[in-house]
Amino acid sequence: MQSSFDGLFQTDSPHPGQQDTSFDAVETYFSCITTCSLDDGECVTRCVEELREQP
């Protein structure tokens, strides 16, 4: 019997390398926001804009 979770975490992607790029962009975003003060919305906005500019 096949589990309903089979294939949930497939490593074969129709777009090779895309997952790595997305992960790098998100990792960069989190690195950026950790440098921001909690009350510095401008800093967080800048990090979001950088994330959106990623391919």
- pLDDT in 10s for each residue of the chain, 55 residues: 444 444 444 444 455 555 566 788 899 999 999 999 999 999 999 999 999 998 7
- pLDDT, residue 16, reads 55
User: How far is residue 35's CA from residue 52's CA, in Å, rounded to a whole number?
Assistant: 18
User: How far is residue 42's CA from residue 32's CA, in Å, rounded to a whole number?
Assistant: 12
- pLDDT, residue 18, reads 53
pTM for the whole structure:
0.58
User: How far is residue 47's CA from residue 29's CA, in Å, rounded to a whole number?
Assistant: 6
- pLDDT, residue 42, reads 97
